[in-house]
A and B are shown apart, each in its own frame.
Chain A
Amino acid sequence: MTINKVTTHISPNEQLIFERSQKGRIGYRLPALDVDEAELNIPNEFLRDDDLEGMPEVSEVDVIRHFVRISTWNYSIDLGMYPLGSCTMKYNSRLNEKVARIAGFANLHPLTEEQDAQGALQVIYELQQHLAEITGLRGISLQPAAGAHGEMTGIMIIRAFLDARDGAAASHRRTMLIPDSAHGTNPASAHLSGFSVKTIRSTAEGLTDLDHLRELCAHGEVAGLMLTNPNTLGLFERNIKQICEIVHEAGGLVYMDGANMNALVGVARPGDMGVDVIHLNLHKTFSTPHGGGGPGSGPCCCTKEFEPYLPVPRVVKSSDSTYGLDYDQPKSIGRVKAFLGNYGMMLRALSYTLTHGNDGLREATEAAVLNARYVAAGLIDDYDKPFAGAPMHEVVFTDKRQTRKGVHTLDIAKRLIDYGFHPMTIYFPLIVQGAMLIEPTESVGRQELDQFIGAMKLIAVEAVENPELVLNAPHDTRVGRLDEAAAARKPILRWKER
């Protein structure tokens, strides 16, 4: 007997909520209006006259079923390994979620006077202290809402510092050096701060090319360098001290993108390497949930010299142990976000550092690097590993051996889905053709790593023996590969009544 898959199953066929809407349905109830109704002083021409036509009219159970059904079309960390390189998809503790929902924080208005928000400010202050210790950098602002936002903040700090230091001469110092392996946010953030970008080559080893760096620094216009360390190839820039010296000697400053801090916590500190400013990603290293693409949190951290330029207000502790907001920072670059940042993420991150403890933070780093090393060793016979160096928390492979049969990185990624894994980061960094960047994080055990390695090995075999199988993957998802070119050619960005 064969059982055919029914194609009319309600769950995979869930529509858009607008297509479910039926006139007159409601899913809410408010208390009856308890004040005397009166004519409002709002003139008619200021009032809405479209009766919110088109907005959904559904019941509560409609809404629940709608979202539960479409939720099953998502892959998630809680389902399995999510080895996206440079994204650090680690487990998101439920305890952190509980902390963020404590009424004393969740119901607190952001403009509450300082004396009535002492506990909330204490959380910020303590997290600042922990991050200062972890990074070796004492100036911390938790205001930026995401990694790229922290990056923008950091680069604006560098700009303000140079303008103050060099005066009018600073206008000749507007070149930001960025390695060719860097994330696209780096040049975009530099541009927003008025810098033009020059690209530094990587060596055959996958590290910053010191000779090229010296050559670029010799021009005398260098404002600074933006460096990710470990870099996006998963390699520690072992010449980091020398790199910082070269840039500093040329009058520039060093910004470190902290996207890959999960390889360093408790083991090495950017502040000890000579860098001036960095950002962290609380949603990566400190396990706040990625939430399907945000909210993030991108603290900016800097040395004492740069502290006066951090965004206002600063959260400070006074001698009588009360916490407060300090707006009196005349050199500050200004405010980068309303209120104090993505506060809910700060609660979760503090909960993370406190539940791990100092030894646990280091152990997590060890496990993350160990797991990446294990994957590197497990796949070396089947996939091309373009850089010989021992990887830190992530490792890059390529599709070089598979392309002979027409199988590319994208196909390997899609085939991994059939094996129950989320694909790795693909085609990044841009300098590696057919890159597959794998970051297992500390949140996977040996058994699951072996399953992942096993799946990758099987795909390598399939790529030779049955390439069609790989080229047409995934085979078991709700939709197959989607026509992205068509989506961009004639964009449909919203539902409309047909």
Chain B
Amino acid sequence: MEMLEAMGLGSAEELFDSIPEDLRLKRPLNTPAALSEIELLDRFEQMGARNAGARRISFMGGGAYAHYIPTIVDHILSRSEFFTAYTPYQPEISQGTLQVIFEFQTLVCQLTGMEVANASMYDGSTALAEAVLMAERVTKRSKVVASTATHPQYLEVVRTYVQHAGIHLETVEFDEKTGQSWQALAAAIDDQTAALVVQSPNFFGCIEDVAALADAAHSKGALLVVGITEAMSLGLLKSPGACGADIVVAEGQSFGVPLSFGGPYVGLFATREKYARQIPGRLVGETYDKKGRRGFVLTLATREQHIRREKATSNICTNEGLIALAATVYLETMGRRGIQETAHQCAQKAAYAARAIAKLSGYSLPFTAPYFNEFLVRGPGRAVDLLARLGKEKGIDGGIALSRFMSDRPNEFLVCVTETNSREQIDALVDGLRAL
């Protein structure tokens, strides 16, 4: 009131004099009255308790993975200095955030085997869409080929992004026997192809022959875009960079980010140095001040929308700063050996589970291709029903029914195993499936 008076205003309503009278809301908002902290927490705890899925032993993957998160990750990203800072537009007082991103970019390059990486994208699916748009910019060609073994939701997002971009997205079928799609992708290439898009491990968990695809793409002057939903696989599998990929995108959720019902996650985006000026999104670079002290700044901004406007490489403005921090803390805490050991455990435990399930009568593994930590199982009946019973009776989420994405595959489901699943849990899953 004092402040109002100091400015010669009689009431708070006068603050809004520039809004025409007939546009002002004359009644209180019809939203609930304020809750105290005690009431609020109670309400959310109750709603949280209505999510039975959060309490079960889980073997669900399909683009979001339950990995171990060291305690210090949440501790560091809860520091005020990180989570209540804005985009580092004033580098002198944002060196913390900028150095984190520089380390993040370096880690993404090391893992993917690529030369440059950006400060992150919204998630893996939008990163894949941006990679497709970038391939068109680089090659000036309009045909893009992806396979139906790509995560179905990722394909949907790509389709949405390219619908007005003059890009023709073609899909090829995966092989019924192996579960792979690299042969079909390689066969679909022609002189008009901007990019081949392959996910590896693919949606069924099958590892694709990325090197063979890189050769096929390059022989026709196209780019190879590699998408990864389970980034932990990079701890064990040959990097896409070493296989010859041109753009690599990944969902980084596996690196220290809770499942949180689908977000916020973090998209990784890496490419070759020669394409650095075609990258979407923010980049952090190294430089020096007048006294020769090393520091970091946002750089190559002339690619971005605030300067280039409609000619920008992307409309993206933000990155996923805090989640990129989580991934950075995770990767540095686990370090070189921790990432290797985690990936090794995932693969071994998945292989153990797969061997046991394959022996069950009525169950089989329909695909022959090598896998990392996720594989497809064919069951004795409708997968949706089997999994629902398993959840209800045993408290186990046994996987993801494929029929939710592909209605012509009613009896199959994806099983994912990580380092967080103990042998006891895996045995319980196998026993549970046997008993159905």
**Contacts known (A417-B90, A483-B287); A74 close to B85, Cβ less than 8 A:** yes
Specify which chain B residues have a CB less than 8 angstroms from the CB of A480 in the assembled complex: 92, 289-291, 293
| A145 touching B264, Cβ below 8 Å | yes
Spot the interface stretch: A116-124, A208-216, A400-408: A116-124
A246 contacts partner chain B, Cβ-Cβ < 8 Å: no
Q: Is the CB of A338 within 8 A of B297?
A: no
Cα–Cα distance between A480 and B292 once the two chains are bound (Å): 9
**B436 CB-CB contact with A under 8 Å:** no
A321 to B7, CA, bound (A): 50
Q: Is B10 an interface residue (CB 8 A)?
A: no
Assembled-state Cα–Cα distance A196/B34 (Å)? 45
CB closest residue in chain B, given A183: B306
Kindly list chain A residues whose C-beta atoms are within 8 Å of the C-beta of B388: 113
| Chain A hits for B47, CB < 8 A | 104, 119-120, 122-123
Residues of B within 8 A of A52 (CB): 110-111, 235, 336, 339-340
Contact A294 B320, CB 8 Å, known A334-B156, A374-B6, A491-B285: yes
Tell me the bound Cα distance from A109 to B397 in angstroms: 10
Q: Contacting A344 at CB < 8 Å: which of B30, B81, B263? A: B263
> In whole angstroms, how far apart are the Cα atoms of A142 and B310 in the complex?
25
Question: Within 8 Å of chain B (Cβ to Cβ): is A494?
Answer: yes
Q: For the complex, is A280 an interface residue (Cβ under 8 Å from B)? A: no
| Closest residue of A by beta carbon distance from B125 | A338
- Mark out the residues of chain B between 308 and 365 whose CB falls within 8 Å of any chain A CB in the assembled complex: 308-312, 314-325, 329, 331-342, 344-345, 347-349, 351-352, 355
Query: What is the count of residue pairs linking A and B with beta-carbon distances less than 8 angstroms?
Result: 641
A272: chain B residues within 8 A (beta carbon) = 23, 25
**1/0 contact string of B1-20 vs chain A (CB within 8 Å):** 01110110100100111111
Q: A52-B110, A75-B90, A122-B50 are in contact. Are A334 and B160 (CB under 8 A)?
A: yes
A342 to chain B: which residues have CB within 8 Å?
A: 122, 263-264
**Selected interface stretch from A184-192, A300-308, A458-466:** A184-192
From B75, B318, B349, residue with most partner A Cβ within 10 Å: B318
> A41 to chain B: which residues have CB within 8 Å?
351, 370-371
Query: Using Cβ atoms and an 8 Å threshold, which residues of chain B touch A99?
Result: 40-41, 44
CB of B116 within 8 A of CB of A494, answer yes
B289 touches A481 (CB 8 A): yes
| A422–B84 alpha-carbon span in the complex (Å) | 12
Q: Decide yes or no whether A164 CB sits under 8 A from chain B.
A: no
Answer whether A192 and B370 are a contact pair too, CB < 8 Å, given A338-B124, A343-B263, A355-B34.
no
Determine which of B48, B95, B151, B335 lies in contact with A479 in the assembled complex, contact meaning CB atoms within 8 Å.
B95
Residues of chain A from 164 to 218 with CB closer than 8 A to chain B in the complex? 183-185, 187-194, 196-197
Within 8 A of B (CB), among A56-85: 56-58, 60, 63-64, 66-68, 70-79, 82, 84
Interface string of A20-60 (1 = CB under 8 A from B): 00000111101101111110111101111111111111101
Q: Judge if A261 is at the interface, Cβ distance under 8 Å.
A: no
Among residues of B, the one whose C-beta sits closest to the C-beta of A27 is B333
Q: With an 8 A cutoff between CB atoms, is A148 at the interface?
A: yes
Among B63-71, B171-179, B183-191, B216-224, the one that faces the other chain is B63-71
Within 8 Å by CB of A34, from B85, B161, B290, B422, lies B422
B321 touches A291 (CB 8 A): yes
Complex Cα distance, B371 from A33, in Å, reads 19
Q: Give every chain B residue within 8 A of A37 (Cβ-Cβ).
A: 348
Q: Are B85 and A292 closer than 8 Å at their CB atoms?
A: yes
Chain B residues numbered 243-273 whose CB sits less than 8 Å from any CB in chain A: 251, 258-264, 266
A111 to B63, CA, bound (A): 9
Contact among A47, A64, A156, A236 for B160, CB-based, below 8 A: A156
Q: In the complex, are the beta carbons of B322 and A58 less than 8 A apart? A: no
A40–B351 Cα distance when bound, in Å, is: 7
Q: Confirm or deny: B33 has a beta carbon within 8 angstroms of a beta carbon on chain A.
A: yes
In the complex, whether B102 has a CB less than 8 A from a CB of chain A is: yes
Please indicate the chain A residues that have their CB under 8 angstroms from the CB of B348 in the complex.
33, 35, 37-38, 40
Q: Are B262 and A339 in contact (CB under 8 A)?
A: yes
Interface residues as binary, B356-390 with A (CB distance below 8 Å gives 1, 0 otherwise):
00000000000000111000000000000001100
In which size bucket is the chain A interface?
35 or more
Distance in angstroms from A259 CB to nearest chain B CB is 10
Min C-beta distance of B225 to chain A, whole Å: 16
Tell me the chain A residues, 388-426 only, with Cβ under 8 Å from chain B. Answer: 389-390, 392, 413-414, 417, 422-423
A91 shortest CB reach to chain B, Å: 8
> Is there contact, CB below 8 Å, between B263 and A340?
yes
**For the complex, is B238 an interface residue (Cβ under 8 Å from A)?**
yes
Q: Are A377 and B84 in contact (CB under 8 A)?
A: no
Cβ A487 vs Cβ B335 within 8 A: no
Determine the distance from Cα of A296 to Cα of B80 in the docked complex, in whole angstroms. Answer: 17
CA distance A198 to B259 in the complex (A): 43
Given contacts A30-B68, A190-B310, A492-B286, contact A48 B239 (CB under 8 A): yes
User: A294 CB to closest chain B CB, in angstroms?
Assistant: 4
Knowing A78-B80, A188-B310 are in contact, say whether A493-B19 is a contact too (CB < 8 A): no
Point out the residues of chain B lying under 8 angstroms from A335, CB to CB.
Answer: 153, 156-157, 160
- Nearest residue, chain A, Cβ from B341: A30
Query: CA A164 – CA B153 in complex, angstroms?
Result: 25
Which of the listed residues A42, A129, A423 has the most CB atoms from chain B within 10 Å of its own CB? Answer: A42
Q: Are A119 and B48 in contact (CB-based, < 8 A)?
A: yes
Q: Which single residue of chain B is at the shortest CB-CB distance from A421?
A: B93
B345 to chain A, nearest CB (A): 6
Residue from A116, A146, A345, A414 within 8 A of B316 (CB atoms): A146
Residue contact A134 to B29, C-beta cutoff 8 Å:
yes
**B105 partner, pick from A92, A116, A474, A494, beta carbons under 8 A:** A494
- A347 to B43 Cα, complex, angstroms: 12
Question: In the complex, what distance in Å separates the CA atom of A352 from the CA atom of B139?
Answer: 46
Please give, as numbers and ranges, the residues of chain B lying within 8 Å of A35 by CB-CB distance.
Answer: 348-349, 352, 423, 426
**Which residues from chain B contact A16 at a C-beta distance below 8 Å?**
99, 102-103, 106
Q: What's the least CB distance linking A113 to chain B, in Å? A: 7
Which A residues, 325 to 365, have Cβ-Cβ distances below 8 Å to chain B? 333-345, 347, 351, 353-362
State how many angstroms separate the Cβ of A145 from the closest Cβ of chain B: 4
Interface residue? A273 (CB, 8 A): yes
The reply to whether the CB of B138 lies closer than 8 angstroms to some CB of chain A is no
A373 touches B317 (CB 8 A): no
Interface assignment of B276: CB less than 8 Å from any CB of chain A: yes
A103 CB within 8 Å of chain B: yes
Q: Which residues of A contact B238 (CB under 8 A)?
A: 45-49
Residues of A close to B295: CB separation below 8 A? 478-479, 482
Q: Is A457 an interface residue (CB 8 A)?
A: no
Question: Do B23 and A268 touch across chains, with their CB atoms under 8 A apart?
Answer: yes
Interface residues of A in 247-303 (CB under 8 A from B): 265-269, 272-273, 289-297
A120 lies within 8 A of B160 (CB): no
User: Given A152-B315, A194-B164, A184–B334 Cβ distance below 8 Å?
Assistant: no
Closest to B322 in A: A291
Whether the Cβ atoms of B122 and A488 lie closer than 8 Å is no
* A-B complex: 10 closest residue pairs judged by Cβ atoms: A104-B48, A357-B34, A339-B262, A291-B322, A110-B262, A119-B50, A194-B164, A112-B53, A295-B264, A78-B80
Task: Name 11 interchain pairs, CB-CB below 8 A, sorted by A.
Answer: A27-B332, A30-B338, A42-B372, A78-B81, A111-B62, A189-B315, A238-B18, A267-B24, A291-B322, A344-B264, A370-B3
Q: Given A149-B126, A482-B289, 4 other A-B contacts at CB below 8 A?
A: A67-B76, A268-B19, A292-B86, A495-B106
